[in-house]
Amino acid sequence: MALDFDYLAQQKQNADKACERLANAQTPFVRNCWYVAARADEIGTEPFVRTLLGSSVLLFRKRDGTVVALQNRCCHRSFPLAEGRFDRDRDTITCGYHGLTFDCTGRCIGVPMQEQPPRGIGVRSYAVVEKAPLVWIWGGDPASADPAAVPHPEWLGSAEWDYYIGYLNPRGSYVHLHENLLDLSHLSFLHATTFGTPEYAVAPCETRVEGMDIEVWRHVECRLPAIYARPLGWEGMRAMRHSGSRFVTPGLHVNTGMLENLELPPDRQTPQPMIKVAQLLTPEAPLSTHYYYCVCRNFAVGDRAVTEFMFNAQMAAFGEDAYALERLSQMQAQEDPEFFYEISIPTDRAGLAMRQHLKRLADAERAHEPRRGARTGTAA
Amino acid sequence: MALDFDYLAQQKQNADKACERLANAQTPFVRNCWYVAARADEIGTEPFVRTLLGSSVLLFRKRDGTVVALQNRCCHRSFPLAEGRFDRDRDTITCGYHGLTFDCTGRCIGVPMQEQPPRGIGVRSYAVVEKAPLVWIWGGDPASADPAAVPHPEWLGSAEWDYYIGYLNPRGSYVHLHENLLDLSHLSFLHATTFGTPEYAVAPCETRVEGMDIEVWRHVECRLPAIYARPLGWEGMRAMRHSGSRFVTPGLHVNTGMLENLELPPDRQTPQPMIKVAQLLTPEAPLSTHYYYCVCRNFAVGDRAVTEFMFNAQMAAFGEDAYALERLSQMQAQEDPEFFYEISIPTDRAGLAMRQHLKRLADAERAHEPRRGARTGTAA
Amino acid sequence: MALDFDYLAQQKQNADKACERLANAQTPFVRNCWYVAARADEIGTEPFVRTLLGSSVLLFRKRDGTVVALQNRCCHRSFPLAEGRFDRDRDTITCGYHGLTFDCTGRCIGVPMQEQPPRGIGVRSYAVVEKAPLVWIWGGDPASADPAAVPHPEWLGSAEWDYYIGYLNPRGSYVHLHENLLDLSHLSFLHATTFGTPEYAVAPCETRVEGMDIEVWRHVECRLPAIYARPLGWEGMRAMRHSGSRFVTPGLHVNTGMLENLELPPDRQTPQPMIKVAQLLTPEAPLSTHYYYCVCRNFAVGDRAVTEFMFNAQMAAFGEDAYALERLSQMQAQEDPEFFYEISIPTDRAGLAMRQHLKRLADAERAHEPRRGARTGTAA
C-alpha cells in the first residue's frame, strides 16, 4: 500500500520542523573563518580573480612576495580593479575606469583631480596567510582575524608526508559537501566501484559529537580497494581499515585512514601506513563550492608513480561526490517545494550536528558584532 | 487617432478584473486528475525519468510487467532513485548515494546499519493505469485515485480505428494549449497552409458550456485540406466538415471530425469518415507541457502509407500550435506587466469557461482536503 | 592597516543613504521622453521588431512611407503582430493566430465571426517622428507627445556637417551610460589608448548644473589623439581641446569638441574644427541599452576616407565605454548586496545631478497623471 498524502504531509511537517535548526544551501555563509583561497602556486604578480563567499576577490603578490586579497569591485563605480593598472614599485592599483588608486590595504590613496583623496574610503581587504602549499583567507573582518588560528594541518607539506592536491568546483553548497564528508555510509554505494567496499555498509560506526568537535570512525575488515592495496603491495590480502572523518571548521574537514595488514607480520608494517586528507571547502556562491583536497600519505614518499596512480583513482572517487552534490542540488532546485523535505537516519548524526553548528555560527554572525564574531578556525 | 493611455489603463483594469477568475500559467496545477505519463512502449524495465506536474517521477516496469511510478527524489538526501540499483527479483530500488532501499509502493524497507527501517518513511508513489497504448498517472493522492475514472476513450486502441501518436514538448502552459484546442477560430489563420481553410473564419460556431462540459462545433462547407482529402480520394470535391472540440479533463481534450462528401452519393460514404483525436496534455512545469496526440481514423484502417502521410501533415499543423504557444509565452514573459493584459472576444467563450473551470479546480485543491479533492477524470 | 568592517558598514550606510535619491538600473524608465527607436534606413515596409522600454515594439512603414510603431503583442492572446499578415493596400495587420485586424493607430477594426469589432479595443501605438537620419519615438502616452519637442540637433543631418552613425547594444542600464557620458575624468584611464590623453586627468573641469541643464567642460592643452590629429593633419602638434558633455534628455546626450592648433596661425584654422556627437540612449530593458551615436564634424566634409578612419577609431573608444558598462553591471549583479555600495567623488557632480534628475522624473511619472506627465524632450 502506498503512503497516503495526509500521512506524507504530516511527515513533511515534522521533517521541516527538524530542519529549521540546520544549515542548508540558503543559510548565509559563515564568514568568520579561515578558508583556502587558492593554491600558493596559483597566485603570482598577475591578478588572479576568484569569487569567494559571494564576492569577487582580487588576489596577487606584492613586490615582496606576500599575497594580497582585495575586494575586486572598485568602491566608486564597481569596475573590476583586476583590470586596472598595477604599479609594481609602489604596490598600488589604479582603477581602469576613473583612475582611483588603492594601496594594498584597500585604502584609496589617490583620486584624479583631487589634492587629497577623501579620508578613509577604500575597498575591503582580507586577512591572508600563506602556508605552503596553500593560501588561506579570513572571510570576515580582518580586524578579527587571528593568523595563529589558521587550521593548517602540520602534516600537510611536512617532509614525512608526500601529497598531491586536486581541485573540483561542484555546483552545490558547501553545507551538503560537508555532510557528505562526515558520512561514511555512502562509501559502499556512491563509491562502490572506486574506494568503497561492500563491508563498509555493515561495519560499526562510531560517532563523536562534543560541542563543535564532530567526528565519525569506521573500522572495517576487508580487502582494500586498489587505490590503497596497489601502492602498498597488499592486493588480495585481508586488512583492517580504520577510517575517520572530522569536521574541523566550515572551511576544513580532515579524513584519516589507518591501514593494517592482517596477513603480514607487524614488523613489516612500520610505520603504520596512513592517509590524511585535508578537504578544503570554500563557498563560491550558495550553490557553488571551491573544493581543494590535499591527499597526504606516509608511505611510498617521493614515489611519483604512486602519486600519479593515487591522484587518478582519487579524482574518480571525489568526482563521484561532486556528481552526487550536483544531482541533489538540481533535484532540490527543481522539486516543487510542497513535496520537498529531507528525512534523516541514524548515520546522519554527525552531519546533523555539523549542520546545526553551521546554522548557529551563521545566526550568531547575523545577530552580530562583526568584530567580536565567533572564531571558527582552530588548529586541526 | 491612437487609443490614449488613460483609456488603455481603464481597459487593462477591466481586463485584469475579468481574468482574475481564469486559470493562467501561474495557476497551481490541478493534481486530482488522470494525466498521460508516457506511451506504454516508452516504459520498460529500465528507469524512465520524466518531470510531471513539477516533480521528477521515476517510471519503470516491475517483474510482472506492471508500471510503477515513484517520486524520483530520495526522501533522505534528494539523490535521484533512477540512478540507484534495481533488484529485479524483489522489485526494489536501492538509492545510489546512501543505500536506502524502497519497494514499489515507495515505502523505505531498508536502511544500511539499521535493524529496522524507520516506520513509515518513503517516497510518494503514484496511482498508475496502463491502457494501451498509453500509461495514465493520477497527479494527486493515490488514496483518492479511481482507476475506473481514467478517461481513456474507447475508440483509442480499438480494432475499428487506426491511429498514430505524436509527441511535442512546447515551452508553454497547458492552460493556453487547452485554450488553443477549444478555439476553432484560429484554423484559418495559424493553420492557413496546413489544415485550415478560409471558409473556417466565417463558418458559424456552436459553443456548448454546461458546467464542466465544454464543447465547440463548426460546420464548414469547403474543399477539404489535403490531409483529409488525399487519404479519402476526395481531392477537389466539395465536402461538409463537422469539427468538434471538447474539453474532457485537465489532461484530455477530444477533437472530432466528421466528413461528408457533397459530390458522392451517400452509399459511397459508409461508414461516414471520422477522425478522433485524443489530445493529451500533461503539465511538466508552469511553462512546459508534455503533449501527446493520438489521431484515430475509421477509414483506410491498416493502410500504413495513409498513416505516414497523415502523421507528417498533422505534425506540421500541431507544430504550429506549439509554436504559437511558445511565442505567446515568451511575449507574456517579456512584456512589462504594466502593459500586459488580455482582451477576449466572443469565440473565446468555450476557452474562458474552461479556464474558469481549471481555476476553480485548482482553488478547491488549495482549500483542500487532499483525500476528498474533486475528481476531474470522467470517461470521454 | 586595512579598513575595519565596522567602519565600512558605517560607510555603506552613508553611501546608501546618499544613493536613495539617485536613479539606478532598477529605477523605472522615464517614459515621457523622445527616444531614438532606430535609424531611418533600418525601417522599411517589412516588420522591424525591437524591444524599447521593456516592451516589444513593431515598426514598419505605411504605404505612404510614414513610420508606424505599435505594441507588438496582440491584445487578445499575445501573439506577435509582426508575424501576422500585412495588407499593404489598406495599411492593416491581421494577427497570425486568431485573425484580429488592426489599423495603424493600433485600433482593432475586425474580429473574425463578429459583425462589429468590440468598440475601442486595440494595442498601444506610439507617437513617432522621423528626422533623417533617425526615427524618434515617444515612450509615453501618444496624447502627451509634442512632435515639436523632439530634441533632434539641427547640425545632425545638415549640409555643413558630415557624420556617421554607430550602434552598440551593451548589457547595462542607460542610467550608468549617461553617467559615463557626463564624466570626462575617465578619458585618461578607460580610453588611455584610444582618445584619452594623460593631460586629461589633471586638466581643470567646469561643471554647470542648473536645474536639469547639466554640462561639463574640460580645456586641455595636449597633443591630439590620432582620431582627431590625423584627419586634421595636426599630428605631433600642440593643440587646445575643449570638450563639453551635456545631458539633454534621458534619450539624448551631446558631446562637443572644439579643437585649436597652438602651432598653426589662426587663419589656417577657419572655421574652427568641431566635433559634435549625438549620443542616443534608449533603454531596451533594465540592463540593456540601445546606443546609437552620431558623430558629426565640420571638417573634411565629404571625405569618405576620413569618415571610415574616424568610424573605426571611435568604435574602439565607445566599445570601451560599452565594455565598462557591462563589467560594472555584472559586478553589481553578482556582488553580495551587503557589501555593495557606491562612493562618489567630486568629478561625479554632474552625473549625480543627472541621476537625481532621472529619479525625480521617474517618481513623478509613477505618482502620475500619465497625460500631464513631465515632458523631458527639449531642443538640444
Kindly report the CATH number assigned to the domain that includes residue C89: 2.102.10.10
Cα separation, A151 vs C252, in Å, equals 57
pLDDT band at C188 (very low <50, low <70, confident <90, very high): confident
Instruction: Let me know if residue B349 belongs to a domain.
Output: yes
Statement to judge: residues A208 and A338 lie in one domain: yes
Q: What is the grid cell recorded at B219?
A: 460546420
Mean pLDDT of C134-160: 96
| pLDDT score recorded for residue C43 | 98
- C355, pLDDT greater than 70: yes
The answer on C246 and C113 residing in a single domain is: no
The arithmetic mean of pLDDT across residues A138-163, rounded, is: 95
Residue A267 — φ and ψ, nearest 5°? -70, -15
pLDDT for the residue numbered C376: 37
Answer yes or no: do A343 and B98 touch at CB < 8 A: no
How are the residues of chain B apportioned to helix, strand and coil, as percentages rounded to the nearest 5?
30, 30, 40
- In this prediction, residues A308-326 reach a mean pLDDT of 93
- Asked if pLDDT for residue B31 goes beyond 70, the answer is yes
Chain B: residue whose CA lies nearest to C73: B331
Encoded amino acid at C83, one letter: E
Q: Do residues C140 and C155 share a domain?
A: no
**For residue A226, which amino acid is it?**
A
| pLDDT surpasses 80 at C370 | no
Q: What integer pLDDT is reported at residue C86 of this predicted model?
A: 97
Nearest chain C residue to B348 by CA: give it.
C76
Specify whether C182 is located in the same domain as C269.
Answer: yes
Query: What span, in angstroms and rounded, lies between the C-alpha atoms of B218 and B199?
Result: 11
- How many CB atoms within 10 Å of residue B81? 27
pLDDT at B204: 81
Rg (CA), chain A: 23
Reported confidence tier of residue B368, pLDDT bands at 50, 70, 90:
low
The answer to which of A140-154, A325-339, A351-365 has the lowest mean pLDDT is: A325-339
**Closest B-chain CA to A335:** B55
Helix (H, G, I), strand (E, B) or coil at C70: strand
Phi–psi pair at C222, nearest 5 degrees: -165, 175
Average pLDDT over every residue of A260-288: 93
Cβ-count burial of B258 within 10 angstroms (0-12 exposed, 13-18 middle, 19+ buried)?
Answer: middle
> pLDDT tens for residues A90-130?
999 999 999 999 999 999 999 988 888 778 899 999 999 99
pTM above 0.90, yes or no: yes
Please say if the pLDDT value at position A249 is more than 90. Answer: yes
pLDDT of residue A368: 66
Stronger pLDDT, A210 or B268, i.e. the higher one: A210
- Domain termination site, one of B110, B139, B168: B139
A114 CB near a chain C CB, below 8 Å?
Answer: yes
Which of C115, C144, C173 corresponds to the end of one domain? C144
**Is C1 domain-assigned?**
no
pLDDT at A211 over 70: yes
B351 in the same domain as B239: yes
Whether B145 has a pLDDT exceeding 90, the answer reads yes
A1 falls within a domain: no
Q: Which pLDDT band, with edges at 50, 70 and 90, does A3 fall under? A: confident
- How many contacts (CB atoms, under 8 Å) link A and B? 118
Whole-angstrom distance, CA of residue C343 vs CA of residue C11: 9
Identify whether C14 is part of a domain.
Answer: no
Phi/psi for C120 (5° steps) reads 75, 15
Give the one of A79, A114, A122 whose C-beta lies nearest to C324's C-beta. A79
Q: Are residues B281 and B239 in the same domain?
A: yes
Note the pLDDT of residue A193. Answer: 81
- The pLDDT of residue C364 is above 60: yes
Angle between helices C174-181 and C304-334 (to 10 degrees): 120
Contact B347 C112 (CB under 8 A): yes
Model confidence band, residue A269 (pLDDT cutoffs 50, 70, 90): confident
Q: How far is A85 from chain B (nearest CA, A)?
A: 40
Chain B residues whose beta carbon lies within 8 Å of the beta carbon of residue A344: 76
Residue C163, SS3?
Answer: strand
Same domain flag for A157 and A118: no
Query: Rounded to an integer, what distance in angstroms lies between the CA atom of residue B257 and that of residue B264?
Result: 18
Nearest 5°: the CA angle C45, C46, C49 is 120
Q: Is residue C24 in a domain?
A: no
Cβ–Cβ of C97/B334 closer than 8 Å? no
Q: Is the confidence at residue A1, as pLDDT, over 80? A: no
pLDDT at B52: 98
Same domain? For B152 and B132 the reply is no
Residue C373 has pLDDT above 60, yes or no: no
C147 touches chain B (CB under 8 A): no
Residue A17: inside a domain: no
pLDDT digits (tens, 9 = 90+) for B154-179: 999 999 999 999 999 999 999 999 99
Prediction ipTM score: 0.91
- Tell me which of B370 and B244 has the higher pLDDT: B244
Cross-chain CB nearest to A370 (options C5, C327, C336): C5
The mean pLDDT of chain A is: 92
Number of residues assigned to chain A: 380
Domain match, C40 and C91 both: yes
Together in a domain, C104 and C63: yes
- Residue A170: closest CA among A304, A289, A70, A257: A289
Count of structural domains, chain A:
2
Q: Picking from A190-194, C205-209, C307-311, which range would have the lowest pLDDT averaged per residue?
A: A190-194
Residue B131 forms part of a structural domain:
yes
Measured between beta carbons, which residues in chain A are less than 8 angstroms from residue C334? 51, 54, 56
Q: What is the mean pLDDT of chain C?
A: 92
Please tell me whether residue C214 adopts helix, strand or coil conformation: strand
Tell me: do C137 and C240 sit in the same domain. Answer: no
Report helix, strand and coil shares of chain A as percent, to nearest 5. 30, 30, 40
Peptide bond into A133 cis (omega under 30): yes
Query: Residue A5 and residue B111: Cβ atoms within 8 Å?
Result: no
Chains that touch B (3 or more CB pairs under 8 A): A, C
pLDDT the model gives residue C1: 72
C-alpha pair distances (Å), C159 with each of C154, C275, C302? 10, 15, 10
pLDDT recorded at residue C368: 66
User: In terms of residue numbers, what domain contains A130?
Assistant: 39-139
Contacts of B42 (CB under 8 A, 6+ apart): B48, B135
Q: Which residue of chain B is at minimal alpha-carbon distance from C57? A: B335
How far is C-alpha B62 from the geometric centre of its chain's CA atoms?
26
Q: Which residues of A are less than 8 Å from B75 in CB distance?
A: 341-343
- Tally DSSP H helices, then E strands, for chain B: 5, 18
Question: What integer is the mean pLDDT of A147-172?
Answer: 96
Average pLDDT over residues B48-60: 97
CATH of residue B179's domain is 3.90.380.10
Among residues C120, C144, C168, which one ends one of the domains?
C144
Identify whether C226 is part of a domain. Answer: yes
Mean pLDDT of chain B, nearest integer: 92
The bridge status of strand A213-223 relative to strand A205-210 is antiparallel
Q: Are residues C158 and C132 in the same domain?
A: no
